[in-house]
């Protein structure tokens, strides 16, 4: 490939077609990526099921049902990998919430989301913590974010989320966040497609040498 072939002022720009079901794949990528922050990896079984969801062969609720059956069988044989279980079920429920698209900016909804995601993982899912703590994160160079005083969590969140905002302003905020996420997703998708195509062309060029 020559440098002139990469010059968009000479060659016509061809808009890439958005791959079918890219939104579903993006949702799974985000859900599993959030688990990787805590060094959690999905099971091979979820990797198979999520592809069936992306292609439309299974609904997200069928995926969750089959995962529960899979881990129930593992439990009988004392073969459960609890890190994979957490990653699989929490990732699946993140995708469920994204596909349902019922976001609400409120303290009650935040607690609902926590309980929904971690219902099979933590006994305290959906409750505010009762202790102060720090959590060192590898992604933060082994530092911890600043966690608020556990006694003031609900009051602080309630104030931060709804202070002086009307229903219309909250809806506008939600729409703005969704638009930005969609824009970032499209940028990421186009960059991935362009990179993949360039690598394919470079590979073809190297093979021809």
State pLDDT tens for residues 102-158: 877 777 888 888 899 999 888 888 787 776 666 666 656 766 665 666 666 666 676
Say how many CA atoms lie within 13 Å of 159 toward its Cβ. 5
State pLDDT tens for residues 14-36: 556 666 678 889 999 999 998 98
- Computed over its alpha carbons, how large is the radius of gyration of the chain? 22
* Count of Cβ atoms closer than 10 Å to residue 64 Cβ: 19
Q: Are 4 and 34 in contact (CB under 8 A)?
A: no
Mean pLDDT value across the chain: 76
Q: Are 63 and 52 in contact (CB under 8 A)?
A: yes
Residue appearing with tokens 């305290």:
124
State pLDDT tens for residues 55-96: 999 999 999 999 999 999 999 989 999 999 999 999 999 999
Secondary-structure breakdown of the chain: helix, strand, coil percentages, each rounded to the nearest 5: 65, 0, 35
Q: Determine the length of the chain.
A: 209
Structure tokens at 195: 């990179």
* Count of Cβ atoms closer than 10 Å to residue 94 Cβ: 21
Closest CA to 30 of 83, 85, 99: 99
Report the pLDDT value the prediction gives residue 29, as an integer from 0 to 100.
Answer: 92
State pLDDT tens for residues 47-66: 999 999 999 999 999 999 99
Structure tokens at 176: 């703005």
The SS3 of residue 3 is: coil
């Amino acid at each position: 490939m020559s440098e002139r072939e990469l010059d968009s002022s000479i060659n016509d720009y061809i808009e890439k077609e958005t791959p079918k079901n890219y939104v579903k794949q993006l949702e799974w990528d985000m859900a599993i990526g959030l688990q990787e922050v805590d060094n959690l990896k999905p099971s091979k079984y979820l990797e198979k099921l999520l592809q069936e969801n992306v292609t439309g062969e299974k609904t997200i609720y069928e995926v969750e049902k089959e995962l529960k059956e899979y881990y129930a069988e593992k439990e009988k044989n004392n073969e459960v990998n609890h890190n994979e279980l957490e990653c699989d079920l929490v990732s699946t429920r993140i995708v469920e919430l994204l596909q349902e698209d019922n976001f609400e900016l409120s303290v009650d909804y935040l607690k609902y989301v926590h309980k929904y995601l971690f219902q099979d993982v933590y006994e305290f899912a959906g409750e505010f913590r009762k202790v102060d703590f720090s959590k060192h994160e590898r992604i933060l160079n082994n530092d911890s974010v600043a966690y608020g005083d556990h006694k003031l969590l609900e009051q602080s969140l309630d104030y931060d989320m709804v202070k002086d905002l009307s229903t219309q302003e909250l809806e506008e905020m939600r729409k703005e966040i969704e638009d930005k996420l969609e824009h970032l997703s499209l940028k990421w998708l186009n960059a991935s497609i362009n990179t993949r195509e360039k690598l394919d062309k470079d590979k073809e060029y190297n093979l021809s040498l």
